[in-house]
Chain A
Amino acid sequence: MAGQVHSLLDRKIVLPAFREAILKINPRVMVRNPVMFVTMAGALVTTIECSSAFFRGRSAAFSLQVALWLWFTVIFANFAEAMAEGRGKAQAASLRKARVKTVAKRLTSGGSTETVPAEALRRNDLVVVRAGDIIPADGEVTEGAASVDESAVTGESAPVIREAGGDRSAVTGGTRVLSDEMVIRVTADPGEGFLDHMISLVEGAHRRKTPNELALTILLAALTIIFLLVIATLKPFGAYVNAPFPIPVLAALLVCLIPTTIGGLLSAIGISGIDRLIQKNVLATSGRAVEAAGDVDVLLLDKTGTITLGNRQAVEFFPAAGVSTEELADIAQLSSLADETPEGRSIVVLAKRYGIRGREVSEFQDARFIAFSARTRMSGIDVAGKCYRKGARDAIEEFVTGGLPTDVLECTEDIARRGGTPLVVADAGKVYGVVYLKDIIKGGLPDRFARFRAMGIRTVMITGDNPNTAEAIAREAGLDDYLAEARPEDKLALIRAEQAAGHLVAMTGDGTNDAPALAQADVGVAMNTGTQAAREAGNMVDLDSNPTKLIEVVEIGKQLLMTRGALTTFSIANDVAKYFAIIPAMLLGTFPQIAALNIMRLTSPQSAVLSAVIFNALIIVALIPLALAGVKFRPLGTEVVLRRNLLIYGGGGILSPFIGIKIIDMIITALRMV
């Protein structure tokens, strides 16, 4: 199931990854990665040199060991990639379980249905699905409504309603209809459906290098060319100073210098970034989208559902002059008994805190309940000759005779200013007071937004509320900005404006009218419960339909980029120590005076070369966990993050091989390997 975290040592992944690592030793595969291609060439040349030495009866023990470790370097790099792919495949396999063979009941032009295999469906075919059926393809409901179990895709067991028209019309192939019947228009040809696309992406079959990966590959290739020439020219320089450099030593130096660490781990880092998103139940349409998420610096967040809990709650009673709080609480509760909206429920609950006992509708046999309606914007109860009502201010104003007293008016204005919603409680002749309904902000958000601000990311709330309310909520949640009284088309305009001002924007959306904005945004996360149009417009889909997750998506994107940068820096910084190991080793035979450069005091020239090569191979394995899990993400200011990472991965990259090579040298000396 999506969302599962696979252990690093999961045997079902590690063992096939080893097999893959060997199978990937194929020039046509390797050439995609210039660094590892050169490594393989180095291994090959050393092997040939080693065997020719063997057949000519010369000692080949040293060159054999170098050759072996060069091959290990290639295999370890392949293994890293295979591990990442394996984890992706494990995710994909669980997604694919949803892909059981299904049959579809296709509507013919005559109006009757015919049974065809799901693979035979084409775009714009109409199919009928009934309770118990598996939906055969991605589509849009054109008729009827049904409850659907989408747990195969989302892992969420509660059924969801899918209905024609509106924002909940999209269905996903592979999900199961639980009740009722509906007609679906197929929107994707077989093999091109949403799930198919996601599965192939996760498996890495259609993974393309992202622009940044491409650019990095080019730079690594350029470095590789420089080092190739550095090594190629060493031979004549050596000949000039009468220092013969054997081929295995040159090959070893070459492989140590070219950035094998990042070259070997680059694709694993990319795959695992997508993989981490899937663990959060977010599917990205491309690796590019994950990178873009790291780049985003403006987050557009819908108020409802993202910042607030989606419904307002009563938090306080403000009695009118001459009314006690208890009396107001009592009347407010009475008039809310029949109000089944979350707001109404919250009034009943709040009243209990004032000692008002909970009452049931059934206790009032002779009373008439007036349910809340959008037209009257009031609810209430007619009991014992009184008509108690609670509702929006202007609705009550019309309802009561003689208007609202000034203290109540002031109180309502004050609440509105603070971003709350005032409800006035009254009967025909008397106003009792005001109930303060407040948007409840999700826990932990202000903290999170503050961290984003530190990273230079601006958060903007989008709401249909009036500016007063919007500002108050924005302030309370710690947002940087808000767009009040927003209509759906305003979102698109806002995104364009932000982009024109030089920002990269991320947003979430679900409705059809969100689609243009989702397409325009640099990162558009569509809710899985949203329409097909929205899902196609965005570049990510959140299977849990939890808009707050946009924040996590950004963090994962940043983490991916940081990991790539950290390992690149580490890889290049490593070279310094390798020079200090190998260069003195190369010259020591001819010029013993150069021993002063052997600052690690390595045992012999051969042990020095071998230690460097072994370190170079093992460091790839050692860093696989970091590549797959990503560097620890800390929401700090960019300067602090840079300094920190430079210190850890740049400074550490220079120092650690000195220590590592020394230790390996001591081990191979103790084992008498050379």
Chain B
Amino acid sequence: MNAVDWVHLAAFLLVLAALTKPLGLYIQRVLDPRGRTFLDPGIKPLERTICRLMKIDVDREQDWKEYLLSVLVFGAAGFLFTFAILRLQHLLPLNPEALGPVAPDLAFNTAVSFMTNTNWQNYSGENTLSYFSQMVGLTFHHFVSAATGIAVAAAFVRGISRDRAATIGCFQVDLIRSCLYLLLPICLVYALFLVFQGTIQNFSPYLRAGTLDGGAWQIIAQGPMASQTAIKMLGTNGGGFMGANASHPYENPTPLSNFVQVLSILLIPSSLTYYLGRAVRNSRHGWSVWAAMLCLFLSGLLICWWAEARGNPRLEQLGVDASFGNMEGKEVRFGIFSSALFGAATTAASCGAVNSVHDSFTPLGGWVLLFNMMLGEVVFGGVGVGLCGMLIFILLAIFLSGLMIGRTPEYLGKKIENRDVQVCALAVLIPSILPLVLTAITISSEWGTASLNNSGPHGLSEILYAYTSAANNNGSAFAGLSANTPWYNLTLGFSMLAGRFIVIMASLALAGNFARKRALSRRGGDFPVSGGTFCLLLVATVVLVGALTFLPVLSMGPILEHFLMTGSDLLF
């Protein structure tokens, strides 16, 4: 934890804060079907053409059920599309390595994984997927799953900010505009930047290179990496081109590219809070939500960074220099801080890309990564859905303690009623209990523990991490678990579907509910939705719900492992 790292952290936060407002303003224009942007001259004709071809009436808005139906149909179609490509990749072009069809359970898992913006990868990209599968089958989802999240967030925010309205926008329009005006232009510039940093972008067959020790040949995978890497980070997808993901020198070549990649994970989720503030005409509210997220993010990061910098006493006993910290599983070109920052960001924001092996973090460092996901991916969270999750937590926080100001709870002048609470409870309940229940079943079964490479508390952490990552649509993995088995493929796939669509359904139902409500106008008597008290309340609610649900299992996983590491000689 040296001075350079602190400067690195400060610079990172400064740049993130500085970009939040301008991008938030831009997003507001993008999400307004009539909004004007500086890209209109180039993109407007394209948008019009697409809308005309798809027969979309830009002026016709949908109520929440129509909106939800559109999301579901679009998701189902996307799933079938990718599933078909993976199963048929041996018949499709751009397959120089002549890779065969993907097994059905793996294809199901992968298609679900990318459609739900999870990008859990039970395969290694370079050994399993053709260029066509990666670019068309997967990168397609990198864009549209991110855009779907943004669209749902926009619908939710509209629901909150409208007064006695029946509709919450049009999914097709939100989807198209998010892709065209937001994701594609940024990715274009971003991919070029990555190429400038050294990321490759080609369709060449894999290279065979002679190694230095002579005699042995090394296969070096090639491919269109810059384009996929850009959107995998920006859209908080996380599915790398390579199995090694962002630790691979092709995907993440330099400290600068690393800095920008971490930044791009948090960029859109962070800007969406500003969009929220603008849309509800209370910028302070947007910033307060941002501050609460930042507070959660920083606490996790600092613990993780500290734990990694402190290193592993067992290794020190073996003579490893303690001043390096815990470098196991980390790239030397990134070091402790950049790895901790990447890890904290990728788990907080539901990205799932990794630049180091999470499995090799110290127990406490790994606990932070796990706990970030357990909070429900609301610490910035996945693009769009992170904000949705946070809004649900805001409603819960206000419902639980809003009574203390002597009024039945209301958020921005709208009463939080029975139905809203039911929906919120469901949205928190399912992603919380799914990992618990599935981990419990898996850990007590032969076919579950057979995939483990570690026993003891660390083995529990590995399985728990997998299901938590899936149910919260993160996608990162503790290595050490061979999850490409039918049981894991199916249950993880199911978790991803449930985690994604429960939150989306809840968000849209709440959007519809809130849009219909009468906004009470309170002059000075509102529930305070900005300022320190609100931030504290929100942070406390998020942490408390996460902690109360997961503390028992965590105490038998990473927490126990920590005490065993420091206080015993037990090996696992």
Contact = CB atoms under 8 A, between A and B. Distances in A.
Interface string B538-572: 00100010011101110110011001101110000
Contact of B404 (A504, A557, A645): A645
Contacts of B525: 297, 455-457, 638
B92 interface: no
B432 interface: yes
Interface in B524-548: 524-528, 531, 533, 536-537, 540, 544, 547-548
Contact of B528 (A240, A575, A587, A639): A639
Interface in B458-483: 459-460
Nearest to A571: B400
Interface of A is mostly: helix
Contacts of B531: 639
Contacts of A52: none
Contact of A229 (B416, B437, B519, B521): B437
B548 A257 contact: yes
Interface residues of A, number: 73
A62 interface: no
Interface residues of B, number: 70
B166 interface: no
Contacts of A216: 399, 421
A225 interface: yes
B418 A646 contact: no
Contacts of A457: 525
Interface in A549-565: 557-559, 561-562, 564-565
Contacts of A238: 556
- Residue of B441, B526, B556, B560 most packed against chain A (CB within 10 A): B556
A562 B555 contact: no
Interface string A547-588: 000000000011101101110110011011001000100010
A227 B567 CA distance: 30
A458 B527 contact: no
A564 B560 CA distance: 37
B94 interface: no
A671 interface: no
B549 A215 contact: no
B437 A566 contact: no
Contacts of B421: 215-216, 218-219
B443 A237 contact: yes
A31 interface: no
A568 B400 contact: yes
Given A219-B421, A257-B548, A643-B533, A291 B553 contact: no
B439 A564 contact: no
Given A236-B443, A649-B404, A575 B548 contact: yes
Interface in A207-244: 211-212, 214-216, 218-219, 222, 225-227, 229-241, 243
A646 to B, nearest CB: 6
Given A297-B525, A575-B548, A562 B405 contact: yes
Contacts of A239: 444
Interface stretch (B184-192, B353-361, B406-414): B406-414
B564 A593 contact: yes
Contact of B443 (A240, A559, A573, A649): A240
A29 to B, nearest CB: 22
A504 B399 CA distance: 19
Contacts of B432: 226
B425 interface: yes
A670 interface: no
A503 interface: yes
A265 to B, nearest CB: 13
A594 B418 CA distance: 42
Nearest to B540: A650
B405 A641 contact: yes
Interface in B197-253: none
26 contacts: A212-B408, A216-B399, A218-B425, A219-B396, A222-B428, A225-B433, A226-B429, A226-B433, A229-B433, A230-B552, A231-B552, A240-B444, A243-B556, A294-B406, A457-B525, A502-B519, A561-B408, A562-B403, A569-B404, A579-B552, A593-B564, A597-B559, A637-B524, A638-B526, A645-B404, A645-B405
